[in-house]
Chains A and B, each alone.
Chain A
Amino acid sequence: MAVKKINKKNIAKVLAVWRREYNIIVPSMATDVPAFSEWDGEDISFLDWYRNTAVPPKSVVLPPMEKMMSFRKEKDGYKTEVSVNEDKQIIFGIRPCDAKGLAIIDDVFTNGYEDYYYASRRRNTLLIGLGCTNPQESCFCTSMDVDLATSKDVDIMFNDTGSEFIAEAFTAGGEYLLKITTGLKNATGTDMKTAKSVELEAKNKLTRALDTRGVSKKLQACFNNEDFWKQVAAKCVSCGICTFLCPTCFCFDINDEMVRKQGARYREWDSCSFRLYTRMPMENPREEKWRRVRQRVCHKFEFYPMNVDIFACTGCGRCIRLCPVNWDITRVIAGLPRQSDVKEKASALKG
């Protein structure tokens, strides 16, 4: 399908057309922080201020809390009622870093074993990507193989050309949306050129970088360097902000809430930063803070690439921006011991 273009003034009309069949979820400041929430049918002022949200759009398909089922004890046993959300929805304005994060989470919840709740939401969700024009100082997506102007993980990619967006569909779902929006003009060669120059201008605004060359090996080598990790972890306070706001994090807990004879089962976000995360009856292998911090860094930059061949970090910068103590992953990676200590590894194997 040809690349289309949409005047920014007509975005509300386009969303209104899609709204006939889909819930539209857009960035909003209704709760005093930038967050994705259901579009009110009118307000598109987010086009003026939107850079990125605090809570990433993973919250749309993997909510901070979701009811899995309700149950009631009756005379002949438990009656259960499964709750699942299959509403068709569109996330409008997802950034390439968040889209890649979602693709990583998709792999966990739908590849092989399919998580019923996640899959039900995800398969009914279309993603409209929006290329960045004004990255934040905490952004380092390009260091993590993410292009701030395009994404293969969305259904349609919107790019800014100033007064218009050019829109390119990558999937059948995306093509369908562009098809039902009548009267869309094709983007011209000039439009494409303008979009490219906007993209370049945005890329030049990036100030943060992270060198991923050899990072997995470096982490492997210093795994047992307790002193190093204690220094890295010293100022962390073990809250859950970095994990909860990370587009690739997906850990969850399941709890039953019951009062007398009825209740419900909920799934909610959990974090490996919490001290009690790995607590078991006999022991807690990550009782000390430095072990949890080490696990977080290694999960993103060593274990994941080694097992799934992809870094579990998309450079969105939320962990840096919103961390209460300004713990900075780019500085940690830059400060990894350079020499791989062969002696270190040998002793690790022995013990």
Chain B
Amino acid sequence: METELCNEAGRLLEEGAVDYVIGFAAGSLKFTTTPLITSDKNDTVNLVNNRFITNNLAKYLLEIKGRVGIIAKGCDSRSIVSLIQDKQVCREDIVIIGIPCAGLIDLAKVEKLVGKDRDLIDDINIADDKAVITIDGKKKGFEARQVLFDHCLSCEYPVPREYDVLIESPVNKIRDDEAGKKKIRELQKMTPERRWAYWKEQFKQCIRCYACREVCPACFCERCFVEESQPRWISPAPQWQDNLVFQVIRALHVAGRCTDCGECERVCPQNIPLRSMSAEMCDLVEELFDYKTGLDKSALPLMTSYEPVEAEGLIR
């Protein structure tokens, strides 16, 4: 499957159909990949497709000028569609190479599971619904769902719906929405006071590195509300009150654009469970407006459209 991917990407550059190709290459650390952005067809041999291709590459479409060939998983392709809806990206300027995705490995989960840091693990392998982790030559067996990202367990669109080329491959997708939403269900069971206290504690750790915002394709504002000084909405100083307001408003601003790709939570250096906010927002959007992000590129974005009658009972 990787060969097909490399060939396809190389062909696009060779034929001049695109100026750049964006995909994934092997990372410089174990079990990582890194975005590959290249205009050189010889570079495309480095493209990989494995269980660690976590980045949402749609973000780069916002800054690369020219025609771009982009490798997209299911969630990425929906982010691309969302950007097309918001007129941030022109459909004609991109060639989407869709790759079906059966779910990616969450290294943080693996580390907790085996009690070892990632660089001390020899190998992590998934076959069907079983996972095998090898440490010091010894193999340990687990259920695949124990090592996959929560958002992958909840994913309903493993195969991209918007694409120009689809790399064929069988996808044995494990879907376990209950497991994927476990943290959220626990929060929903708490009293409002306990929930607020929980988030307060989490946001005391935030250092405002803005990694969550920068990796998110839905955050494409030239000037974020956080950077406004006239009026100054929130302080740049990372007080928990301002950190909390920042994330709540960010979640509300990207409502209808978020595809639950899970990047915000993965990149947070302080392990703040951001997906427990963004995934809940996705659920609310579906519950209130029967809408899922990025399924129809000719549809209006969620927050700029409306139905004659909706959200009854919430506004008197």
- Asked whether, in the complex, the Cβ of A324 is within 8 Å of the Cβ of B28, the reply is no
- Asked whether, in the complex, the Cβ of B209 is within 8 Å of the Cβ of A244, the reply is yes
- Asked whether, in the complex, the Cβ of A51 is within 8 Å of the Cβ of B211, the reply is no
**B-side contacts of A255, CB under 8 Å:** 235-237
- Asked whether, in the complex, the Cβ of A266 is within 8 Å of the Cβ of B235, the reply is yes
CA distance A137 to B119 in the complex (A): 6
Q: In this complex, which of B119, B209, B239 has the most chain A Cβ atoms within 10 angstroms of its Cβ?
A: B209
- Asked whether, in the complex, the Cβ of A241 is within 8 Å of the Cβ of B235, the reply is no
- Asked whether, in the complex, the Cβ of A33 is within 8 Å of the Cβ of B55, the reply is no
Interface flag for A193 (CB, 8 Å):
no
CA distance A266 to B234 in the complex (A): 13
- State which residues 243-279 of A face B: CB under 8 Å: 244-245, 253, 255, 257, 266-271, 274, 276
Interface flag for B286 (CB, 8 Å):
no
Interface flag for B63 (CB, 8 Å):
yes
What is the minimal beta-carbon distance from B207 to any residue of chain A, in angstroms? 5
Interface flag for A58 (CB, 8 Å):
no
- Asked whether, in the complex, the Cβ of B269 is within 8 Å of the Cβ of A326, the reply is no
Interface flag for A179 (CB, 8 Å):
no
Interface flag for B154 (CB, 8 Å):
no
- Asked whether, in the complex, the Cβ of B235 is within 8 Å of the Cβ of A137, the reply is no
CA distance A81 to B211 in the complex (A): 35
CA distance A289 to B266 in the complex (A): 23
What is the minimal beta-carbon distance from B4 to any residue of chain A, in angstroms? 23
Interface flag for B225 (CB, 8 Å):
no
Choose one: B32, B205, B227, B237; the contact of A65 (CB below 8 Å).
B237
Interface flag for A322 (CB, 8 Å):
yes
Interface flag for A238 (CB, 8 Å):
yes
Interface flag for A115 (CB, 8 Å):
no
CA distance A241 to B29 in the complex (A): 17
Interface flag for B30 (CB, 8 Å):
yes
27 A–B pairs (Cβ distance < 8 Å), ordered by A: A31-B205, A31-B270, A33-B205, A51-B117, A55-B269, A64-B207, A65-B238, A65-B239, A235-B35, A235-B60, A237-B214, A239-B213, A239-B267, A240-B209, A240-B211, A241-B209, A241-B211, A255-B235, A257-B235, A257-B237, A269-B238, A271-B209, A324-B214, A324-B263, A325-B35, A325-B215, A331-B28
Query: Which residues from chain A sit less than 8 Å from chain B, CB to CB?
Result: 31-33, 51, 54-55, 64-65, 136-138, 234-235, 237-241, 244-245, 253, 255, 257, 266-271, 274, 276, 289, 320-322, 324-328, 330-331
Choose one: B33, B214, B235, B239; the contact of A326 (CB below 8 Å).
B33
Q: For B213, give the chain A residue with the smallest CB separation.
A: A239
What is the minimal beta-carbon distance from A22 to any residue of chain B, in angstroms? 24
- Asked whether, in the complex, the Cβ of A33 is within 8 Å of the Cβ of B214, the reply is no
- Asked whether, in the complex, the Cβ of B29 is within 8 Å of the Cβ of A327, the reply is no
Q: In this complex, which of B60, B236, B263 has the most chain A Cβ atoms within 10 angstroms of its Cβ?
A: B236
What is the minimal beta-carbon distance from B209 to any residue of chain A, in angstroms? 4
Chain A interface main SS type: loop
Across the A-B interface, give the 8 residue pairs with the lowest CB-CB distance, nearest first: A239-B211, A324-B267, A326-B34, A137-B119, A239-B214, A240-B209, A268-B237, A266-B237
Interface flag for B254 (CB, 8 Å):
no
What is the minimal beta-carbon distance from A206 to any residue of chain B, in angstroms? 12
CA distance A55 to B209 in the complex (A): 12
**A-side contacts of B263, CB under 8 Å:** 324
CA distance A64 to B203 in the complex (A): 13
Interface flag for B73 (CB, 8 Å):
no
CA distance A267 to B269 in the complex (A): 21
- Asked whether, in the complex, the Cβ of A54 is within 8 Å of the Cβ of B119, the reply is no
**A-side contacts of B270, CB under 8 Å:** 31, 33, 54-55
**B-side contacts of A32, CB under 8 Å:** 271
What is the minimal beta-carbon distance from B113 to any residue of chain A, in angstroms? 15
- State which residues 26-64 of B face A: CB under 8 Å: 27-30, 32-37, 55, 59-60, 63
CA distance A322 to B30 in the complex (A): 13
Interface flag for B196 (CB, 8 Å):
no
- Asked whether, in the complex, the Cβ of B59 is within 8 Å of the Cβ of A321, the reply is no
Q: Assuming the A-B contacts A238-B214, A241-B267, A245-B269, are A320 and B209 also in contact, with contact meaning beta carbons closer than 8 angstroms in the complex?
A: no
**A-side contacts of B117, CB under 8 Å:** 51, 136
Interface flag for B210 (CB, 8 Å):
yes
**B-side contacts of A239, CB under 8 Å:** 209-211, 213-215, 267
Beyond contacts A65-B237, A137-B119: 17 other A-B pairs, Cβ-Cβ < 8 A, are A33-B271, A55-B269, A136-B117, A137-B30, A138-B29, A138-B119, A234-B35, A234-B37, A235-B34, A239-B210, A257-B237, A267-B237, A268-B238, A269-B238, A322-B269, A324-B211, A325-B55
**A-side contacts of B236, CB under 8 Å:** 253, 255, 268, 270
What is the minimal beta-carbon distance from A25 to any residue of chain B, in angstroms? 16
Q: For B273, give the chain A residue with the smallest CB separation.
A: A32
**B-side contacts of A257, CB under 8 Å:** 235, 237
- Asked whether, in the complex, the Cβ of B267 is within 8 Å of the Cβ of A244, the reply is no
Q: For A264, give the chain B residue with the smallest CB separation.
A: B237
Q: Assuming the A-B contacts A51-B117, A257-B235, A321-B29, are A269 and B207 also in contact, with contact meaning beta carbons closer than 8 angstroms in the complex?
A: yes
